[in-house]
Structures are given as structure tokens and as C-alpha cells.
Amino acid sequence: MKAKQIDKSTARSSFVNIALKIVLALTATLLLTGCAWLDRVLLPGAREQNTANANVIYVRAIENTPGTWTFHVTVQHPDTGWEDYADGWDVLLPDGTVIKPDPTSPFTRLLLHPHEEEQPFTRSQGGIVIPADVTTVRVRAHDLVAGFGGREVVVDLTSASGDDYEVTRAS
């Protein structure tokens, strides 16, 4: 009878040692890979919005003349230099069409350099033509590495303001 108790005790101790080694190995893996492994293997899709992390924080839309707007967009992104920075933002119609004053530009507003020391930052773009029947637009930001997927702001052009936007209409 004592032999069985020793075997159970030895087995329990071995199990605890193996479990501890697994926990330590997983912890070391997570520390070495910056949790990217956890996202891919254990939580696929759970951090998609955090991965593409150029976030629109605030939008100010000013209608200069009927149908022609200037947008002042505040973006936040942990720019690290030329290898990873927020490189543009878009104004989109409800059907997904991107409005670009310059049709050759990849974005509504192209951002030409990193803003490592200026976070969040605001950049403006005029000459944005929005059809008269459009009442809402969506503003999104892009970063060089992760692309789109961060926080977006929906602007109701018929309202003077919202939680994260303000609108001034032409008189």
C-alpha cells in the first residue's frame, strides 16, 4: 500500500515539474517574441485593431464652399522612424470610395515623414469634394507596416459636432 502512495506522490511531483517547465517555456517564448506568437497561435484575430495601429483621434471638417471641404485630422501612431510611421489618411464616402484631391496620391492626405516627437499630430487637406447628398464620411489612417485597421472616426456632416469630430458648414 505504501508503494502505491509513493508512486502517486512521485507521479504528482513529476507532473508538477513538467507543468512548471511548460509554463516557463511559454513565458520565455512570449517575452522573446513580444507576444506576437500569442496573437497568432492562441488568439488569432483578437488584436487585429491593435496591430494596425494608426488611429484617428479627432476630425475637424470645414466646408469652405458648398461641397468643397478642408479636413484637419489628428492621428496617433507610435512612429519609430522611417521604417514604421503613419504615412497617410483617407476620407471615405459611405460606399467606400476614397476621396482624393490628387488622384495620383495613394491617400486623401499623404504623410511624407515620421512624427516620432509629435504625438498625436494633426495634418490638414483642402480641396476635398463631397457630393451634396452625402451626409456621413469615414476617416481612417494608414501606417507603413500594418496598413489600415486602427481606430476610425465617422463624421456626420449634418451635425455641428460629435464625441470625436466637429463640422463647420459654409454659410
Claim to verify: residue 97 and residue 24 sit in the same structural domain: no
d(CA 79, CA 109): 17
158 by DSSP, 3-state: which? coil
d(CA 110, CA 24): 45
Could you tell me the residue range of the domain that residue 70 belongs to?
49-168
CA nearest to 86, candidates 106, 59, 60: 106
Match 494633426 to its residue by C-alpha cell. 122
Claim to verify: residue 37 and residue 56 sit in the same structural domain: no
Claim to verify: residue 101 and residue 21 sit in the same structural domain: no
Element at 129 (helix H, strand E): strand 121-129
How would you write the pLDDT of the chain (171 residues) with one tens digit per residue?
A: 555 555 666 656 666 667 556 655 554 444 444 444 333 334 343 334 444 589 999 999 999 999 999 999 999 998 888 999 999 999 999 999 999 999 999 999 999 988 878 889 999 999 999 999 999 999 999 999 989 989 999 999 999 999 999 999 987
Q: Which grid cell sits at 34? A: 513580444
Claim to verify: residue 66 and residue 112 sit in the same structural domain: yes
Q: pLDDT value at position 32?
A: 42
d(CA 140, CA 125): 14
Claim to verify: residue 65 and residue 91 sit in the same structural domain: yes
Count of domains forming the chain: 2
pTM of the model: 0.69
Claim to verify: residue 21 and residue 99 sit in the same structural domain: no
Q: pLDDT value at position 169?
A: 94
